[in-house]
Amino acid sequence: MRPLRALGAAALTVTLTLTAACGGANDDTSSGRDGGDGAAITVQAANGTVTLPGVPKRIVSLSPTHTETLFAIGAGPQVVAADEYSDHPANAPKTKLSGFKPNAEAIIGYKPDLVVLSDDMDGIVKALEKVKVPVLLEPAATRIEDAYDEIMDLGTATGRAEQARRLTDDMRRRIQQTVDSAKKAAAPGGEPLTYYHELDEQLHTVTSKTFVGQVYGLFGLRNIADDAQSSAGAYPQLSREHLLKSDPDLVFLADTKCCGQSAATVGERPGWAGLGAVKRKNVVELDDSIASRWGPRLPEFVKAIGDAVQKSSAAQ
């Protein structure tokens, strides 16, 4: 998945609008062993039942989120190539391969025994399957549980199911701790805080129906985009008038790296100086990559929201 503006306007119709169901170990549809004996491994993914003859040793990842997951569960040494946007961790074998304009010949050149991706662009799944290259299609998560399921799928596929289980358990624990701390800091009986999550400087955003919106929903926050009428559905472009009238308590910028936005730059926009979030310094500069991915660093995104909620609650 494109790391910076992947959840922004440029990719709204490419990635997060995918609604294909994610296969998951929690669905009891994935099986296999941790792999030293060469036993076959079966994973139920969005492209159907994927059977591997054994633990893959040459993985190509065409998704930055999945690259992060593979390294987080200890399968990094098995990854021989990652796409051009796989910028984390720093030692990921980033190449010029593209998940948005995939080239089957270039991918095959790395002699993969497994290709992991989040988008089936230009029929790449069938193209690879035609030459007997196993493909695991794990689309952009539409629910928080999907994120955990996909990590478990990758753990099963790479012979690292136990490491994947430990990772998801740790993610759940850290997220719950953050949410609990924020809720304790909130004033009892108070009105829910409102927020605006910016995908780009053109005011593209997300509603509560999206994966990102569900993350904010953990804190009981109210999304000002939910009131906007837009043909873009879950990813509307707000008008400046709507945003200023809504006057959100919190503003989260997920366009700091891609578009150079910051608390300072938004404060200079026409009318923004009067927003409560700007005046009270409740404009949060997010890391674009972390805010646009649904993998191991999800707790960091949750923590950034939780810290902002606690700060705002303490000031009330």
Query: In whole angstroms, what is the distance from residue 76 CA to residue 69 CA?
Result: 9
- pLDDT for position 229: 63
Provide mean pLDDT across the span 142-156.
Answer: 97
Residue ranges of the domains in the chain?
Answer: 9-167, 187-315
Per-residue pLDDT for 46 more than 90?
yes
For the structural domain made of 187-315, what CATH number should be given? 3.40.50.1980
The CA angle 116-121-122, to the nearest 5 degrees, is: 125
- pLDDT for position 185: 79
pLDDT tier, 77 (very low <50, low <70, confident <90, very high otherwise): very high
**Using an 8 Å Cβ cutoff, are 4 and 292 in contact?**
yes
Fold match flag (9-167 vs 187-315): yes
Mean pLDDT of the chain: 88
pLDDT one-digit tens code per residue, 237-269: 999 999 999 999 999 999 999 999 999 999 999
Kind and range of the H or E run holding 51: strand 48-52
Share of the chain above pLDDT 90, in %: 81
φ/ψ of 115, rounded to 5, equals -120, 130
Per-residue pLDDT for 18 more than 50?
no
User: Which residue type is seen at 182?
Assistant: A
Provide mean pLDDT across the span 82-91.
Answer: 97
Closest among 105, 94, 32 to 67, alpha carbons compared: 94
Per-residue pLDDT for 22 more than 80?
no
Provide mean pLDDT across the span 103-110.
Answer: 98
- pLDDT for position 233: 84
pLDDT one-digit tens code per residue, 173-204: 999 999 999 988 776 667 899 999 999 999 99
pLDDT one-digit tens code per residue, 120-143: 999 999 999 999 999 999 999 999
The domain over range 9-167 is classified in CATH as 3.40.50.1980: yes
- pLDDT for position 267: 96
Query: In whole angstroms, what is the distance from residue 290 CA to residue 89 CA?
Result: 12
Per-residue pLDDT for 3 more than 70?
no
Which residue matches tokens 């200079």?
Answer: 268
